[in-house]
Amino acid sequence: MKVWSPAFSAILAFSAFGLTACTSNTRNALPSTARRTTATPTTTSAATIVSGGVRAARIIFKATTDDDGGSFYPPTDHSGTLPGVGYPAIRVFDAAGNRLGKDGPGQTGWPAWLGAVELGLTGTNSGTPAHCARFADTSDTSATCQLGGVTVNCGAPDSYYRVSEYDCTHSSSPAITPATVADGTVDGNVFIRATFNRDTAYLGTGENILAVLEYAASGLNAAPADPSACFASGVFKPEKCSDLLWQSYLKKTAGENISPFLMLLPPLPSLASVASTSGSGITTRQILLPLSGDPELRVFQVNRVKTTVSGDAAFTAACAPGFDSSVGANSPHCVGAVLVAITFYRI
């Protein structure tokens, strides 16, 4: 027969007493509500999809009196829009280019899920150069640049919305300096802005938007061969690698100040200095807007943020030979961008 030592027996007795005290006294001390806990079921509404209706809406960035030619009516002058106020589209088309409506949001033919689509126009109303961001006219179609010693056309197609960086940064009017950064708020002078109607009768909680943007953009300088030049103190700075910086934003309100959603430029699809030709090729960018993740998201905006070549002598020699600030260089296909269209798809 095994005999436990007195000390070990005392430990066993104490442990048994403690276990009994813990299991019995603790239970009795708990309130009745804690002893009888019933899980409360949670319910989650199923995501909805609105069947039928218009599935695609196309905005053509062209100003014309022809109801079938573009989404904008020609402005009466080059005074531009007030700071943060966009110039509205009045016509909308389907994905194939057939007109759906011609009287603006809320009117016959305009998809109910799409609100206003606007462009920022520079000019005296916002204290910015008139020839920076506007619809092209005859002075654009005849504009020429000196690229590699060759005279080439570098203007924009007539009536399309274009941004001429030389005119943004060199003007007898207040220029948009390279250091000026548009942060996605209403203060940006050059932008595209679209607002969506989040009424679930028109755009389901499970639906998103695919934005397909068609544009041409070009610069003079290629990205540096050494990628470390694109960083500052370990932070990526895209403006160090590109003549242009454009960012997109997905917001709850037009005035919300948030971080960029997606970088549009860079990369630059064209370099005007290559082969002595202007960068006029059209590029398509698909951007998925995850509206289903937050019912309050309703504003998609693309901003021209800045350029980095305003002080470059080669910039003037190439993009603005014989520059006259009264008529502008009008050379978006040298350094700048021409916006063709954007199509929104419900998916």
Residue 227 clears pLDDT 50, i.e. is over it: yes
Flag whether pLDDT at 325 surpasses 80: no
pTM of the model: 0.84
Q: What is the mean pLDDT of residues 76-80?
A: 90
Instruction: Look at residue 28 and tell me whether its pLDDT is greater than 50.
Output: no
pLDDT for residue 87 is more than 60:
yes
- Computed over every residue of the chain, the mean pLDDT equals 85
pLDDT tens-digit series, residues 105-120:
999 999 999 999 999 9
Residue 324's pLDDT band (cuts 50, 70, 90): confident
pLDDT on residue 99:
98
Contact assessment for residue 209 and residue 347, using Cβ atoms and an 8 Å cutoff: yes
Which of 85-89, 273-277, 331-335, 337-341 has the lowest average pLDDT?
273-277
* 261 within domain boundaries: yes
The total number of structural domains that make up the chain: 1
Tell me: pLDDT of 274 over 80.
no
Domain span including residue 91: 56-346
How many CB atoms lie under 10 A from the CB of residue 171? 21
Would you say residue 276 lies in a domain? yes
pLDDT value at residue 243: 92
Specify if 223 maps to a domain: yes
| Residue 19 scores a pLDDT above 80 | no
β-pair type (336-346, 262-265) = unpaired
Q: Which pLDDT tens digit goes with each residue over 181-208?
A: 455 554 568 999 999 999 999 999 999 9
Q: Once rounded to an integer, what is the mean pLDDT over residues 39-50?
A: 74
Q: Is residue 155 part of a domain?
A: yes
Which residues does residue 63 pair with via DSSP β-bridges, in sequence order? 72
Decide if 24 is inside a domain: no
SS3 sequence of the chain: CCCCCHHHHHHHHHHHHHHHHHHHHHHHHCCHHHHCCCCCCCCCCCCCCCCCCCCEEEEECEECCCCCCCCECCCCCCCCCCCCCCEECCCEECCCCCEEECCCCCCCCCCCCEEEEEECCCCHHHCCCCCCEEECCHHHHCCEEEECCEEEECCCCCCEEEEEHHHHHCCCCCCCCCCCCCCCCCCCCCEEEEEECCCCCCCCCCCCEEEEEEEEEEECCCCCCCHHHHEECCEECHHHCCCEEEEEEEECCCCCCCCCCEEEECCCCEECCHHHCCCCCCEEEEEEECHHHCCCCCEEEEEEEEECCCCCHHHHHHHCCCCCCCCCCCCCCCCEEEEEEEEEEEC
Task: Note whether residue 77 is domain-resident.
Answer: yes
pLDDT in tens, 151-186: 999 999 999 999 999 999 887 656 665 545 455 554
pLDDT at 72: 98
pLDDT digits (tens, 9 = 90+) for 279-294: 668 999 999 999 999 9
**CA-closest candidate to residue 328, choices 167, 168, 189, 142:** 167
Q: Determine the pLDDT at residue 284.
A: 96
Asked if pLDDT for residue 18 goes beyond 50, the answer is no
**Average of pLDDT values for 58-78?**
96
Model confidence over 124-146: pLDDT tens digits?
A: 898 888 899 999 999 999 999 99
Query: Would you state the pLDDT for residue 163?
Result: 96
43, pLDDT greater than 80: no
Within a domain: residue 252? Answer: yes
Instruction: Give the pLDDT band (50/70/90) at residue 311.
Output: confident
200 or 308: which leads in pLDDT: 200
**13: in domain:** no
